[in-house]
Amino acid sequence: MTEEKMRFEAEVSRLLDIVVHSLYSNKDIFLRELISNASDACDKLRYEAIANPDLLEGDSEFKVRLLTDNVRHVLTIIDNGIGMNRDDLVANLGTIANSGTAKFVEALSKSDNAKNVDLIGQFGVGFYSAFMVADKVEVVTKKAGDSQAWKWASDGKGEYTIAEADMEGHGTQITLHLNDDSKDFTEEFRLRHIVKTYSDHIGIPVILMKGDGQDETLNEASALWTRPKSDITDEQYQEFYKHNSHAFDDPWKTIHYQAEGAIEYTGLLYIPTMRPFDLYDPARKGHLKLYVRKVFITEGADELLPPWLRFVSGVVDSQDLPLNISREMLQHNPVLTKIKNGLTKKLLSELESSATKDADGFAKFWEAFGSVVKEGLYEDYTNRDRILKLARFRSTGVDGWTSLADYVVRMKEGQKAIYYISGEDVAALKRSPQLEGFAAKGVEVLLFTDPVDEFWLQSIPSFDEKDFKSVTRGGADLNEVKAEDKAEADADDKKDDAAKDASLDILIAAIKIALGEGVKDVRESDRLTSSACCLIADETGMDLRMERLMKQHNRVDDISPRILEINPKHSLIKKLSDLAATDAKAAILHDAAFLLLDQARILEGEALPDPVAFARRLDLVMEKGLGA
Ligand code: ADP
Ligand code: MG
């Protein structure tokens, strides 16, 4: 029988090196990982056997057995699951398939992170944790339906061997030659304790084999979600979450319920606290598992939840689907559609009740998942009103998050629209000149910082019959809002000074002539109080910053020409108006027009189309100011 020597993929070698030297970590978890793999292997065979019962070879009682030898210090974990053929062994126990794992290995190699080896299972490399406790690992396995068994062996130092082997039946036996620090893993009380702690929820029995024939089942051996809520501890729910969802955080919400009536299913749903790192990865598969009467069917089924709830993980176990349903048949299955609607409703009402009863908790949830939930505003027509009520936003009027309903309550007398400004971060948005007039009148402006905001705004024009209106688009209509204090009111009254208006009109005309096609229009602003000018988008156009964002993502070809608004109360604009009134053709007006436009672009965070010309003009104007 020939033995083949093979090298581990470089990443596996690095990982193993860390695992072997992880002195401080919780070594117990190796057993959790190996039992979890054994249980997965049984799940897989159970599923395959629905279509092909011969695969079971009459052995349909799935189980994991633990065999100890405390003389030779050997622990063996045996399952009667699907097993592996030669190719499976090479692919599964020699390489790392998951892309997220590279980051994990990276993080682990920073020395003080070595204790995080515990997280190994979450990254889909749990098998290698065997090398925490063993200096030699042997895997003997036969794939169900095959006649040839294989033996894989390694000391975890860069290489492994594969050779043909003999084995009765199908499944996998993993033999651990325990290292000097780990010899007590053959002790019964130790194994009993570890299985109870980490593997109690596994749906198949984990059996400790004893010499006297009195084999002992160490776990509850009923799937966690099938047990009554009152029998399940918080720790068990959490352990199940971490294992099942490959998660590192504690769940924010654990929702365990039985749906009865037309469609019957059990749901054990988790809403995480932390955002999974790959939530925006299009190739991401979620961690919601579908079972049919305790038989595992599939994981990450898009059919079970709308994409805007893709962060929810857990288990759904249906009574109504046929056992022989294939993964391909899941699409457009009417029972599944009903389950999906049921899960969505359940989650929505949980979120609604948190939003009222636990505002702080809900705010944290929104911080992590709000941008995903908002996708539902344009993708999930049926639920969009409920989602809109859940939605929270940053605002100039509050420090934390606000709902739209609360914004509406705070609206000023005469204010007709819900104002917003879009951009990439709250701090920068708050400094926008376009907000000045709104701040002066005490009108609150919502700060939209998610690209998704512009999408839902296109399909939801209003809330509570008040239109959403960008403060960087069209007229500000601030005159209709009642002034906050007397000074403002006085300023409003003095506005119609005819002579001043006439000179302002001349200035505006002069600027238009100078800038030509460079701007769409030049107009007097009622939204500025301290800045001289700002850019505005056309009433029918896209919000300024959103258009820029879209350009960055190549969603639009070109930025459309802007409207330049100038502030008639600003002393510079006043002086320029006076000059325009006496000499509309003054050369300095031409330069001033460009400087104003460039200044507005800089305030907007936009690149100047011609920085050299800007510098030349600025030099000129400064020289003049110095009396040259
Ligand atoms: P994960 O379980 O997250 O996929 P592991 O490192 O624990 O990552 O296991 C790697 C792969 O090795 C598994 O996905 C599975 O294909 C295979 N494997 C491990 N243990 C067994 C087993 N007992 N029976 C069959 N296949 C197994
Ligand atoms: Mg595993």
User: Ligand 1, atom 12: nearest CA belongs to which residue?
Assistant: 92
Does pLDDT of 532 surpass 80? yes
Give the residue, by CA position, lying nearest to ligand 1 atom 18: 37
Task: Kindly state if the Cβ of 81 falls inside 6 Å of ligand 1.
Answer: yes
State how beta strands 206-208 and 64-69 pair.
parallel
| Mean pLDDT over each residue of the chain, to the nearest integer | 89
pLDDT of residue 77: 98
Q: Over range 574-588, report the average pLDDT.
A: 90
CA of 287 to the centre of ligand 2 (A): 14
* pLDDT of 318 above 80: yes
Q: What percent of the chain stands above pLDDT 90? A: 59
Residue 278, pLDDT > 90, answer no
DSSP string, 12-51: HHHHHHHHHT-TTS-TTHHHHHHHHHHHHHHHHHHHHHHH
Query: Nearest 5 degrees, angle CA 355-CA 357-CA 361?
Result: 60
Q: Which fold has domain 495-625?
A: Four Helix Bundle (Hemerythrin (Met), subunit A) (1.20.120)
- What is the Å distance from ligand 1's center to 39 Cα? 10
**Average pLDDT value for residue range 206-225:** 91
Query: Which range among 19-33, 305-319, 601-615 has the greatest average pLDDT?
Result: 305-319
Residue 467 pLDDT? 94
Question: Residue 219: which pLDDT band, with cuts at 50, 70 and 90?
Answer: very high
What is the rounded CA–CA span in Å between residue 164 and residue 149? 6
Structure tokens at 58: 């009459």
Mutating to test ligand 1, I would choose from 29, 63, 122, 127 the residue with most ligand atoms within 8 A of its C-beta, which is 127
Q: What ligand 1 atom has the least distance to the C-alpha of 33? A: 7
The CATH number assigned to the domain with range 391-487 reads 3.40.50.11260
Task: Say which ligand is closest to the CA of 88.
Answer: 1
Question: Could you say which ligand is closest to the alpha carbon of residue 39?
Answer: 1
Integer Cα distance of 99 and 478 in angstroms: 52
Give domain limits for the chain.
Answer: 4-222, 226-357, 391-487, 495-625
Q: Which ligand is closest in space to the CA of residue 38?
A: 1
Distance, CA of 512 to CA of 510 (rounded, Å): 5
Burial class (CB in 10 A: 0-12, 13-18, 19+), 621: middle
Q: Which residue has the higher pLDDT, 127 or 109?
A: 127
Mean pLDDT of the region 201-226: 91
Does residue 15 surpass a pLDDT of 60? yes
Least confident range of 27-36, 381-390, 483-492: 483-492
Ligand 1 midpoint to CA 264 (Å)? 32
Pocket test for ligand 1, best of 92, 117, 143, 175 (most atoms within 8 A of CB): 92
Distance 92 CA to ligand 1 centre (A): 6
pLDDT band at 24 (very low <50, low <70, confident <90, very high): low
Single out the residue of 36, 62, 39 nearest to residue 49, CA to CA: 62
In the predicted structure, residue 555 carries a pLDDT above the cut 80: no
- The response to whether residue 38 sits with its C-beta less than 6 Å from ligand 1 reads yes
Q: 120 alpha carbon to ligand 2 midpoint, in Å?
A: 9
Q: Is 37 in the pocket of ligand 1 (CB under 6 A)?
A: yes
Q: How far is the CA of 414 from the centre of ligand 2 (A)?
A: 62
Residue 205 has pLDDT above 80, yes or no: yes
Give yes or no for residue 94 CB within 6 A of ligand 1. Answer: no
DSSP label at 94? T
pLDDT of residue 487: 52
Q: Are 19 and 132 in contact (CB under 8 A)?
A: yes
**Closest among 41, 43, 65, 61 to 195, alpha carbons compared:** 65
Range with the poorest average pLDDT among 306-320, 363-377, 538-552: 538-552
Check residue 420 and give its pLDDT: 94
Q: Which residue has the higher pLDDT, 205 or 561?
A: 205
pLDDT of residue 2: 84
CB 176 within 8 A of CB 75: yes
CATH number of the structural domain 226-357: 3.30.230.80
Q: Is 125 in the pocket of ligand 1 (CB under 6 A)?
A: yes
Band (pLDDT 50/70/90 cuts) for residue 301 is confident
User: Do the Cβ atoms of 83 and 146 come closer than 8 Å?
Assistant: yes
User: Across 205-214, 237-246, 344-353, which has the greatest mean pLDDT?
Assistant: 344-353
Atom of ligand 1 minimally distant from the CA of 174: 23
Dist. CA 595–CA 306, nearest whole Å: 50
Which residues lie closer than 8 Å to 235 by C-beta, 6 or more apart? none
33 CB within 6 A, ligand 1? yes
Q: DSSP letter at 240?
A: H
- Closest atom of ligand 1 relative to the 83 alpha carbon: 25
Distances (CA, A) of 273 to 255, 356, 368, 373, 582: 14, 18, 8, 14, 66
Ligand 1 atom nearest 82 alpha carbon = 25
Instruction: Calculate mean pLDDT across residues 306-316.
Output: 96
> In terms of Cα–Cα distance, which of 214, 211, 208, 213 is closest to 188?
208
Ligand 1 probe mutation, 37, 45, 47, most atoms within 8 A of CB: 37
**Distance from the alpha carbon of residue 626 to the mean position of ligand 2, in angstroms:** 75
Cβ of 76 below 6 Å from ligand 1: no
Which residue has the CA at smallest separation from atom 20 of ligand 1? 37
What is the pLDDT, as a whole number, of residue 300? 80
Vertex 513 angle, CA 509 and 516, to 5°:
125
Nearest CA to ligand 1 atom 21: 37
Instruction: Count the neighbouring beta carbons within 10 Å of the beta carbon of residue 199.
Output: 25
323 vs 333: CA distance, rounded Å: 14
* Amino acid 482: pLDDT: 72
Ligand 2 centroid to Cα of residue 41, in Å, is 10
Greatest mean pLDDT among 12-21, 87-96, 347-356: 347-356
Is residue 129 lining ligand 1, measured as CB closer than 6 Å?
no
How many whole angstroms from 102 Cα to the centroid of ligand 2? 16
- Span from the CA of 12 to the centroid of ligand 1 (angstroms): 14
- Which residue has a Cα nearest atom 1 of ligand 1? 124
The residues facing 313 across adjacent strands are: 270
Q: Which CATH architecture has domain 4-222?
A: 2-Layer Sandwich (3.30)
Contact of 205 with 221, CB cutoff 8 Å = yes
More confident residue, 443 or 544: 443
pLDDT score at 382:
95
Q: Which atom of ligand 1 is nearest to the CA of 125?
A: 6
Question: Other CB atoms closer than 10 Å to residue 602's CB: what's the count?
Answer: 12
Going by C-alpha positions, the residue among 24, 32, 160 that lies closest to residue 92 is 160
43 lines ligand 1 (CB under 6 A): no
Helix (H) or strand (E) holding 623: helix 611-625
